[in-house]
Structure 1
Amino acid sequence: MTLLSVGHACVDVYQGTVAALVPFFVAERGWGYAAASGVVLAASLLSSVVQPSFGALTDRWALPWLLPVSTLAAGAGIALSGVCGSYRLTLAAVALSGIGVAAYHPEAARVARVAGRGGHTAMGWFSLGGNLGFATAPLLVWAVVAVDGLRGSPLLAVPAVAGAVASGVALRGTRRVAAETAGGSARVADGRDDWGSFARLSGAVVCRSVVFLGLSTFISLYVRQRTGGGAVAGTAALFVLYLGGAVGTVAGGRLAARFRRVTVVRWAYALTVPAVAGVVLVPGPALYVFVALTSAGLYVPFSLHVTLGQDYLPRRMGTASGVTLGLTVSVGGIASPVLGAVADATSLRTALVPLIALPVIGWLLLRTLREPEPPRAAEGPATTARSGTATAR
């Protein structure tokens, strides 16, 4: 689980770096809000389109090699984005990174579920790795780009190399477990797929995604306006937004061990509403407090989305993982250019106001959800997978 968490951190660095690079694209290349948010869209759109396909593939076949290969692809795209000479090539580079991120998550989530024996806390630690990668991204980008400008972006490939090595070592130690749990023939769950509940859960996660990626894209620029600070003030706000996820993810797993997951998720969405309102409406340094509260509220349900989705679709865990951990996270980036266009036409504050309402919509979708029973693996290969996991750990 430690190696898988490290690998997850190294992949999700590249989800965080896209937003962290936006202010530098604006400063060095003179892009407007809409053009800059188009970079986020490029990373998100292809990821959103291909993610279900990777989930379906991992439902049928074992694809453990996807972990290191997709990590390297994610890093290569970001490394190239800063040195591409045109807007189109920059979009292509970040799109490559988005495909790498999309390919990684379904397989990794399934392996993590088995390695953690289906526990909510274990999935929380796996998700924590990704959140720490998000949190590290602004600091990493600032350290590299602030010194040498965008032409220093090839150095951003270093985490990808480290992540590929960590994933490779993890897969060597758990090769049998990964192979048995990655293919649909090796996981015959006892239960029926509840597509209705899964659809409502996915709708709520999309609302969460739009809020998170909308803030990720523009919070750095917005904080500079609201506080009068420079690049450091904006980078600090983005770091707080990502770092709060570390606390929220662990807290979510622990709360789910005491209360029902659906209850915890509902409360998280409800509490996110005033937190986002504070980010958008409160001026001055107090804004940082609301950024931290928003981050915690958005991340408490993060790992719970994954296990809930897997339990709603026990026969299609790869698809469930791809949607809840990847697709509905990246699809929020599709809304970023809309926010950017509104900001160009009016103001950045006006563009961010609608984000306050989205957690309310998410709560309404979650209100009628039932708590699913965790799927019980059938006798045979799945039982072997559990014993193999214990040995690997």
Structure 2
Amino acid sequence: MNRVAMLAIGHGSVDVYQGAVPALVPFLVMERGYGYVAASGVVLAATSLSSVVQPVFGVLTDRWRMPWLIPVSMTTAGLGVALSGVSGSYVLTWLAVALSGLGVAAYHPEAARLARIASEGSHVRMSWFSLGGTLGFASAPVIVTPLLSLGGLGASPLLVVPALAGALLTLTVIRAVAGREAAVRAASPVSGRDDWASFARLTLVIVFRSVVYVGLSAFIAVYLGGGAAGAVALFTLFAGGALGTVLGGRLAARRGRVRTMRLAYAASVPALAGIVLVPGHAAYVFVAATAIFLYAPFSLHVTLGQDYLPRRVGTAGGVTLGLAVSAGGLTSPLIGALAEGTSLRLALSALVVFPALAWLLSGTLREPAPSLVAETS
């Protein structure tokens, strides 16, 4: 198994804990009687802490090389979720989930930097690393729900297993990748200036994309009928995202990252409109298309950010994988309020504005020079 594939599996074993926390909520409600405010507070403990702290870890990894942080953070992410069901105390549960969010935050900047080295600048290989995280997030309900349905919250300590397995697997490649990084730096020291203006515009593009995807994730199941129909809608959304991640890397290798990003966001506008305009089962086709187009630029955001900030690739990874992505979650209550005040259809229709804004703003970006090695397919 090549190094990028192993790092991708490790990525999945961390991001499963981002999806695990929402999957815990029904069991916290049933077994402990948590209300909506208490349950949302638990989810907020993971998402908010992770998104805010992740850029901090990016700054730290820019200053000091810390490959040891990867297995430590993976274990921490798993341990937090594992402990969340052990105590009946709300405070301890909140702290355990926050600990998991801290582990997720610590993982991504350093892992993205090493994945960039291991991929040797290939967009396709970097998309496989991103795909690992997408699949990990999507698989969380499949892992958490059956386990806790059988054993209740008392079975939560078993949820540490993916983290331990991923950490052990990743340990086998960290030394080799870190050694390659040292060789690359010795042969060709980092050159070029940090383009903060372009990076800021890219960050805003990612925020716009995040608003759409988080909004769809939260409400598409209800919009398409809930129950089995809603489950199919979510599966379609996640599966389309996985396909789009791989497709984006391949298109970028041929057409360039910025051009691929522009095309994807332009195509996502009519695809998203189709969800609310086309009735019946045909809407699922537009759900899949929207997910593909929204995820096609996903891995490209990371490498573009790293090339816009060649001297601060950790910071770039922390923002593009953390803060900007999670920022969309802050708008979910606004979308919900609009749905309650008008209709869910109108609220989802309003989301069409954001991929259009992402397309317009991406038109101001230019393809940066790769900061590591020559791009390969």
Per the TM alignment, residue 126 of structure 1 is displaced from its structure 2 partner at its CA by 1.0
Conserved? CA contact 2:248–2:297, under 8 Å: yes
Does 1:138 find its partner at 2:141? Answer: yes
User: Residue in 1 aligned with 2:260?
Assistant: 264
User: Residue in 2 aligned with 1:391?
Assistant: none
Per the TM alignment, residue 350 of structure 1 is displaced from its structure 2 partner at its CA by 5.2
Within 5 A, what are the aligned runs for 1:288-367?
288-342=284-338, 348-349=344-345, 351-367=347-363
Does 1:76 find its partner at 2:86? Answer: no
Change (3 A) 1:314 1:304: same
State the distance in 2 between where 1:136 and 1:4 align. Answer: 17
Task: Give per-residue Cα distances to partners, 1:206-260, cap 9 Å, x unaligned.
Answer: 111222223333444x15xx32x52x54444333322222211111111011112
Change (3 A) 1:343 1:281: same
Q: 2:17 aligns with which of 4, 7, 14?
A: 14
Count of residue pairs brought into register by the alignment? 371
Quick one: percent identity of the two aligned structures?
A: 62
State the distance in 2 between where 1:37 and 1:273 align. Answer: 30
State the distance in 1 between where 2:49 and 2:190 align. Answer: 30
Q: 2:251 aligns with which of 232, 245, 255?
A: 255
Q: Which amino acid aligns with 1:92?
A: L
Does 1:152 find its partner at 2:155? Answer: yes
Change (3 A) 1:268 1:75: same
Unaligned runs of 5+ in 2: none
Does 1:193 find its partner at 2:194? Answer: yes
Cα RMSD, aligned residues only = 2.9
Q: Which amino acid aligns with 2:248?
A: G
State the distance in 1 between where 2:231 and 2:97 align. Answer: 20
Conserved? CA contact 1:277–1:356, under 8 Å: yes
Change (3 A) 1:309 1:26: same
Conserved? CA contact 1:44–1:331, under 8 Å: no
TM-score (norm 2): 0.87
State the distance in 1 between where 2:336 and 2:30 align. Answer: 16
Conserved? CA contact 1:121–1:253, under 8 Å: yes
Task: Give per-residue Cα distances to partners, 1:180-222, cap 9 Å, x unaligned.
Answer: 77xx9998422111111110100010111222223333444x1
User: Residue in 2 aligned with 1:111?
Assistant: 114
Conserved? CA contact 1:131–1:243, under 8 Å: no
User: Residue in 1 aligned with 2:210?
Assistant: 209
State the distance in 1 between where 2:347 and 2:84 align. Answer: 26
Per the TM alignment, residue 281 of structure 1 is displaced from its structure 2 partner at its CA by 5.5
Does 1:128 find its partner at 2:131? Answer: yes
SS at match of 1:134: helix
User: Residue in 2 aligned with 1:56?
Assistant: 59
Task: Give per-residue Cα distances to partners, 1:116-165, cap 9 Å, x unaligned.
Answer: 11111111111111111122122222322343444433332221111111
TM-score (norm 1): 0.84
Task: Give per-residue Cα distances to partners, 1:32-82, cap 9 Å, x unaligned.
Answer: 666654444322211122111111111111101111111111112222334
Does 1:100 find its partner at 2:96? Answer: no
Conserved? CA contact 2:52–2:322, under 8 Å: no
